[in-house]
Amino acid sequence: MIRHTIMPVLVCVCLLHLSDVARAVTFQIDPAQSHLSITTFVYGPNSVSGVEASTGSWTSRLGGTVELDFTDTTARLLHGTVLEPLEDLVVEPGTESDPNNPAPASFLTEFMNDSGGGSPLSGRSGATRGLKFRMYDDNIARTRSGDTIGPAFVFGEVVTGVVDAGSISVDLTNGTSYNVNEAPNVIDDTLVIENGLATLTLNVSWLTETFAGDDPPLDPSLGIWHEGLVVATAQVPEPAGAALLLVASGGFAAASRRGRG
């Protein structure tokens, strides 16, 4: 009789413990539901405004992966989260290093003439090419309540990418010419798990700043504000606690049969 009383208690304790163990899951971003939009602006001694080169040239579908570490009560974006704009726009005359060869661009922009004509970007077209962004949360996990994931400070960095504007070409991956600011995600995200399929929805936003000339900080800086929506899915394995429940329940049933025998 003592064994029969203790065993159910042990099963419950194990389940409660394992349900709060963190699981790192890699989600695939769905380009049909995910997008990223930009806004460009130039500020400094000679500021100019940026406008879309054509309708939709500031918006791109998104691909890539999201790596999420989560429990029943917490969630955190990991370094494996990489966002990749997918639009294959083409701008003439190509990159500065190869001006005769048009190259794919994720976003296209036009810079208006400033009144003094002193900005190196004045009246020129610009493009961002080969962009990939890494995003991750700080060390403090977000709260998770049901399907809702709370806001967090998100950090970002450019994995690859080049900005071309007229005769100016800036490599965003060289570690000196850009700054990706941390941005608070003020909108709640969601993680819905049904029948082993997990659907993650993230609202993302951040600022990239590059020098728009050869003499920073005297030359103006090009700011690119990014904002978008990420929808990603993953198959989630059965929690370890549920499997343990089946094993433990089987053991308890066997013990009960032995007791009745």
Same domain (yes/no): 187, 142: yes
Same domain (yes/no): 46, 65: yes
Is residue 181 over pLDDT 60? no
pLDDT digits (tens, 9 = 90+) for 102-136: 778 889 888 887 766 666 677 778 888 888 888 88
pLDDT digits (tens, 9 = 90+) for 60-84: 999 999 999 999 999 999 989 999 9
Q: How far apart are alpha carbons 211 and 155 in whole angstroms? A: 20
Which whole number is the average pLDDT over 157-186? 64
Which whole number is the average pLDDT over 227-243? 77
β-partners of residue 109 are: 52, 126
Q: E strands along the chain, which residues?
A: 23-29, 35-43, 50-52, 59-70, 74-77, 82-85, 89-91, 103-105, 107-111, 125-137, 142-145, 148-149, 153-165, 168-171, 178-180, 183-184, 189-194, 197-211, 221-235
Based on the structure, what is the number of domains in the chain? 2
Same domain (yes/no): 70, 189: yes
Phi, psi of 133 (to 5 degrees): -120, 140
pLDDT-derived band at 192, boundaries 50, 70, 90 = very high
Same domain (yes/no): 217, 97: yes
Same domain (yes/no): 78, 184: yes
Same domain (yes/no): 127, 35: yes
Same domain (yes/no): 95, 219: yes
* Closest to 140 (Cα-Cα) out of 127, 128, 153: 153
State the residue range of the domain holding 165.
22-238
Q: Which of 122-131, 145-154, 162-171 has the highest mean pLDDT?
A: 145-154
Check: pTM over 0.85? Answer yes or no.
no
Same domain (yes/no): 219, 243: no
Same domain (yes/no): 41, 15: no
